[in-house]
Amino acid sequence: MNNRLRELRTEHGWSQADLGEQLDVSRQTVNAIETGKYDPSLPLAFKIARLFALSIESIFEPGE
């Protein structure tokens, strides 16, 4: 799965730890999502989308 999480996070000036705190996950989880090593659960994907006021589809898209 591809995602824009790193791009969105840096646009807001947040570190991975900052974003992790807002999402109630670890910095390592944020890093794993950003690097494509971990696909977030559906509840976490919704939480991310709400935080950035975007649709899930505008943040995450299927990989090839």
pLDDT digits (tens, 9 = 90+) for 34-54: 999 999 999 999 999 999 999
Do the domain assignments include residue 24? yes
Q: For residue 31, give its domain range.
A: 2-58
Of the pLDDT bands very low, low, confident and very high (cuts 50, 70, 90), residue 12 is very high
Do the domain assignments include residue 63? no
The structural domain count of the chain equals 1
Average pLDDT of every residue of the chain: 96
Do the domain assignments include residue 12? yes
pTM of the model: 0.92
pLDDT of residue 37: 96
Residue 40, CA distances (Å) to 54, 62 in order: 16, 13
Do the domain assignments include residue 44? yes
Given a cut of 90, is residue 63 above it in pLDDT? Answer: no
Q: What CATH number is attached to the domain comprising 35?
A: 1.10.260.40
Q: Which amino acid is at 42?
A: L
Do the domain assignments include residue 10? yes
